[in-house]
Amino acid sequence: MALPQVNTPTYELAVPSTDKKLKYRPFLVKEEKILMIAMEAKEQSGIIDAVKQIVESCTFNKFDVSKSPMFDVEYIFLNIRAKSVGEVSTVNLRCPDDNETFVQTDIDLTTVEVGMDKEHTNKIELTKEMGMIMTYPTLELFSDFDGVTAVNATNMIDIIAACIVQIYDKKGEEIFEAKDSTKQELIDFVEQLNSTQFKDLQKFFDTMPKLTHTVEIENPKTKVKSKVTLNGLNDFFG
């Protein structure tokens, strides 16, 4: 005799970048096992692959992780995790006043949102005549570099180049689509920018939407209260 099936509840959220409704379910034991194995191995690329599998499975394969901004994927995973394990995540936060004392803090995951910077734009003006149109990095892009924590000065250029959609030249009335250029051509273009232009380009990444939440903590040693802002999945789960 076949064993009975356990009904899994279904929830709905709005995808931050599009505001479109998306149905999702909690992850199952078999899916949690994939994540636990990846976390035990402590390899960022493995954890990213596990998150990708879980998000795609728990959204009934209606959400394409490979083509979606990383902040969308993080937000969806956070909601899946909240409905699967619990809506509170306990994290250890470092007190800013002495930079050495850690305080255990509970974070209500249902209050975490994707922060949008009012000054953010995907159009970067390099000169009066020339500029770039950018797109957001995906989870898959970071997987190519062995995880978010592996981003450094060397591969940052590669990540920026991978996020270029278009380069336009008003003077020559030309538009250069990134898909028509090689990876090396795009890297060479970024490397020829001056410091001011590169800072403008970096601002796109610094101000792009991200999971964010601010909490107030008190240092038990000094009794000083400070506000700490958490950004991205790593901050919420470690």
| AA identity, residue 61 | N
Contact 186, 177 (CB under 8 A): no
User: DSSP code of 178?
Assistant: G
Closest CA to 145 of 162, 129, 133: 162
CA distance 72 to 130: 30
What is the residue extent of each domain of the chain? Answer: 8-86, 88-113+209-238, 123-207
Which tokens go with 59?
């959204």
Contact 105, 91 (CB under 8 A): yes
pLDDT tens track for 50-94: 899 999 999 999 999 999 999 999 999 999 999 998 899 999 999
CA distance 172 to 130: 9
> How far is the CA of 115 from the CAs of 24, 56, 72, 211, in angstroms?
22, 23, 11, 6
Contact 236, 230 (CB under 8 A): yes
Predicted pLDDT at 26: 95
Sign of the CA dihedral 237, 146, 57, 213? positive
pLDDT tens track for 135-193: 999 988 876 655 454 456 668 899 999 999 999 998 768 999 999 999 999 999 999 99
Predicted pLDDT at 147: 47
